[in-house]
Amino acid sequence: MCSGGCAKCLGITLIPLAVLCTLANILLFFPGGEVVSNNEHITDEVWYFGGMLGSGMIFPALVFLGLKNNDCCGCCGNESCGKRFAMFTSIIFAAVGLLGAGYCFVVSAVALNRGPKCNNGSNWNYPFENGNYLSNDTMWALCKSPEHIIPWNLTLFSLLLIMSGIQVVLCAIQVVNGLIGTICGDCTCCGCCGVSKFVNYNTLHNQ
């Protein structure tokens, strides 16, 4: 597959992941599916906006989508120069996406290990430590409210962890793909430019 085509496939995959990350982060502002009366009752990691920063993939994804159709002959008359420059800039966007997805991954991992903030019957705190509640669901009784807060946070932060992990891999692939496109150009680009010039030359010559 040509580097531009590969980038387009990555862009198509990143967009729905970014949208899902944003939705998961928004849902975390409603612990247990409830509207809280005090924002201090929301788990701290939710306010780090890991899913929303991870959704910053939308812009890099749109850049990746456009690489396939970039003008391959429009750089000072030098064939494939324009395409190579576009692939080079895609590396920068991929690196930005990599940082955003990595941030979301770390925040989600910390949130899962720490556990949710909940009411233990007397005050609001973090009753769990070092992920001890993950393998011992009898401890979940320590959280009196909001109802279902533990499975709610566990599900959403797990989804963020998985999706951001996939985004990290996809952006890393685009970094490598961008390097290949920068060094070697795009096979479609070279082909279309060469064929186009050959056809135009024959047409003029026959006339």
What's the pLDDT score for residue 41? 93
Q: How far apart are CA 67 and CA 90, in angstroms?
A: 8
Residue 98: is its pLDDT beyond 70?
A: yes
Mean pLDDT of 186-191: 48
The answer to whether the pTM exceeds 0.85 is: no
Q: How far apart are CA 31 and CA 147, in angstroms?
A: 8
How far is C-alpha 199 from the geometric centre of its chain's CA atoms? 42
Q: Determine the residue type at 113.
A: N
Question: Residue 126 — very low, low, confident or very high, per pLDDT cuts 50/70/90?
Answer: very high
What's the pLDDT score for residue 37? 86
Q: How far apart are CA 82 and CA 85, in angstroms?
A: 5
Q: Which of 199, 177, 175, 195 is nearest to 186 (CA)?
A: 177
What's the pLDDT score for residue 148? 93
3 state SS for 59-104: HHHHHHHHHCCCCCCCECCECCHHHHHHHHHHHHHHHHHHHHHHHH
Q: pLDDT tens across 127-182, in order?
A: 998 899 999 999 999 999 999 999 999 999 999 999 999 999 999 998 998 888 88
Residue 185: is its pLDDT beyond 90?
A: no
What's the pLDDT score for residue 191? 41
Query: Mean pLDDT, the chain, as a whole number?
Result: 81
At a CB cut-off of 8 Å and minimum separation 6, what does 120 contact? 127, 142, 143, 144
| Residue 7 contacts residue 68 (beta carbons within 8 Å) | yes
Top-confidence residue, 86 or 202: 86
Q: pLDDT tens across 28-80, in order?
A: 999 999 998 899 999 999 999 999 887 667 777 777 776 655 544 444 444 45
Tokens representing residue 97 in the block: 């996406």
